[in-house]
Structure 1
Amino acid sequence: MSNDATAGKRNRLTFFAVIAIFLGGMLVAGALRFSGWQPSGMKNHGELLQPPTDLRDFTPRLDAGGEYAWKPAERRWRVLVAPPPGCGDPCRELARELDLVWRLFGNKADELDILWLGAPPADATRNAATRVLRMDPALRAKLPRVDDPAGIPVYVVDPNGFVILRYAPGFDPGGLRADVAKLLRLM
């Protein structure tokens, strides 16, 4: 064989190798996509609500008086808790965990409100982000699976007033912090 024939054969082999690598990568990506796999950084710890629950029609009333307006222009995220009346130790523990999550945000903590629907226990931990809302049965009824027999679920509400995430009772507070941190970075 001449040098030209050898070079041509080598060029064809190189061409087919590049095509095989390209198509192989596409096939692997397609298989991963359609199998439902997601990178761990793309997964939520809470349950993504599809469709999100719209609370924009509700104007919650603050327990201390006045209204809590959604104010989308402020770009504030909210963690919403709607415990049953007379909640004792579970509410105290949840309030402590939410306070810890809020404190871990540091300078971003000012972009997050913790909304407590109904009166929390008198000795529950509170911070500057805690807003106690008057109990509104209609608002509470809009929250997906709010009366969970396993305990108290927690919700994340976007700046516009849509409930987008639900955390089942007994959730890991670190997961809530991670999800809200991702959301705060979007703003």
Structure 2
Amino acid sequence: MIQPTNRAVRASRLKFLLVVLVFAVPIIAAALLNLSGWQPTGKAYGEPILPQRNFEQERVRIQLADGKLWPWRDSSPRMTLIALAGPGCAIHCMQALTKMAAARITLSDNMTRLRLLYLGQPPADAATNGMENYWQLGTDVDGSLGIYRPSAPDSVSALLVESDGTALTLYPDGFDPSGLRKDLQKVIH
């Protein structure tokens, strides 16, 4: 049997060590970045809900127009986009609601993975403009979501809620509907 030389043994150990380092360095770097508190940022158009809230666990009660309670957990995993109308939802509010419904439509085959929920006094012409074709109408029974509702007249804000009831993102009054559409396309695929 031929014995390897010391030089060959050292070379193979060095190669092995280099292979281990190739895999270990990124893991160590990620751990150090995480421990330092750094988190990657992406271009999101909404504001993160911090601290996170879970409406299912908090038992936030939304009563629908038909008297039933809104199920935060659905039969299939679907996110919910909640529109919270300010006082007197009129022209600007309806334009924003229309653009939010259009953002759902642009999801194409995945549009069924997003539910639309409108909370507040429906606009006077809600029945004639087809709003009920896209939006479930409801009321925040205990006012639990009042902190997200805009106070300006003819305005609307939106909340994006995960399928388990966790609130992810707030789109405050005056948000960019095209930014909302881009965010939806990222999270619903």
Counting aligned pairs with the same residue, the percent is 19
Change over 3 Å in CA distance of 1:178–1:8 after alignment to 2: same
Residue in 2 aligned with 1:61?
Answer: 64
Aligned length: 177
1:120 aligns with 2:123: yes
Question: Which stretch of the first structure deviates more once superposed, 9-18 or 51-60?
Answer: 51-60
- 8 Å CA contact 2:84, 2:149 repeated in 1: yes
1:107 aligns with 2:102: no
- 8 Å CA contact 1:110, 1:129 repeated in 2: no
Residue in 2 aligned with 1:165?
Answer: 169
What is the letter of the counterpart of residue 131 of structure 1? Answer: Q
Question: Which stretch of the first structure deviates more once superposed, 86-95 or 18-27?
Answer: 18-27
Residue in 1 aligned with 2:85?
Answer: 83
Equivalent residue of 1:78, what SS?
strand
User: TM-score, normalised on structure 2?
Assistant: 0.68
What is the letter of the counterpart of residue 171 of structure 1? Answer: F
Q: Superposition RMSD on alpha carbons, in Å? A: 3.5
In structure 1, runs of 5+ residues without a counterpart are none
Change over 3 Å in CA distance of 1:144–1:47 after alignment to 2: farther
What is the letter of the counterpart of residue 58 of structure 1? Answer: R
User: TM-score, normalised on structure 1?
Assistant: 0.69
Residue in 1 aligned with 2:180?
Answer: 176
Hey, what's the Cα distance between the residues in 2 that align with 1:51 and 1:40? 18
Residue in 2 aligned with 1:154?
Answer: 158
- 8 Å CA contact 1:70, 1:161 repeated in 2: no
Cα shift at 1:7: 1.0
Change over 3 Å in CA distance of 1:31–1:112 after alignment to 2: same
1:133 aligns with 2:133: no
Residue in 2 aligned with 1:26?
Answer: 27
Equivalent residue of 1:156, what SS?
strand
Change over 3 Å in CA distance of 1:120–1:28 after alignment to 2: same
Cα shift at 1:128: 2.5
Cα shift at 1:70: 1.5
In structure 2, runs of 5+ residues without a counterpart are none
Change over 3 Å in CA distance of 1:12–1:72 after alignment to 2: closer
